[in-house]
Chain A
């Protein structure tokens, strides 16, 4: 149980284009989903927190107009990197918190990550 998928796993795009990354909770409903980015040999940095049906909460320094997050259902959240540039190249990881456990356990279950390379 508690499986989270991401699609695509890898994407290469040209500078200036937009890229959409999907995050799905496969066997549970997620009250909250999180988006992280991770640079090589570094820890995970939280970008934003999204709750189903409401606007995402962005961490300080993360441009909400550049990183659009949509959490349309309890099993799907999307991150769109708009007008991507080479400095946006990174490993993007989503996580989800099981709705059934949100009062008991705050554990986040992570997706496999999406590696974005902007040329």
Chain B
């Protein structure tokens, strides 16, 4: 079946550097994408979203890029901080249906 996957299961970055977390999706009908952050023992926390009619969206220190041609989604975190250490999930949905999560990427911020 269709699924969302991640290229990198783990990512270690130096504090202060920028982080890039990638996600590949296979359902070309997906029209809405979301990035979530999950800290240990907690529920996912909404970070940023993007619709399929956009290719870039910026938030505070975070940017999501969408490349529909290659079905690729990325989350960029600027000036990564220790508090950014967590597992990041991308999710896709098609008009609110079939909400599918990717396998997750663990981000570790090194001092």
Given contacts A44-B101, A102-B96, contact A107 B34 (CB under 8 A): yes
Let me know if A34 and B99 touch, CB within 8 A: yes
Please name all residues of chain A whose beta carbon is closer than 8 Å to the beta carbon of B46 when the two chains form the complex.
2, 107-110
Give the chain B neighbours of A105 by CB distance below 8 A: 49
B43-A113 in contact (CB<8A): yes
Bound CA span A111–B104, Å = 18
Q: Whole-angstrom distance between the alpha carbons of A3 and B33 in the complex? A: 21
Interface residue tally on B, bucketed by range: 20 to 34
Q: When the two chains form their complex, are residues A107 and B49 in contact, meaning their CB atoms are under 8 A apart?
A: yes
**Most chain-A CB neighbours within 10 Å: which of B45, B89, B101?**
B101
Query: Which residues of chain B come closer than 8 Å to A93, judged between CB atoms?
Result: 43-44
Given known contacts A43-B101, A105-B49, A110 and B93 CB-to-CB distance under 8 angstroms = no
Proximity string of chain A (75-119) to chain B, C-beta cutoff 8 Å, 1 when within and 0 when not:
000000000000000010101010000100111111111010000
- Residues of chain A at the chain B interface (Cβ within 8 Å): 2, 4, 6, 34, 42-44, 46, 91, 93, 95, 97, 102, 105-113, 115
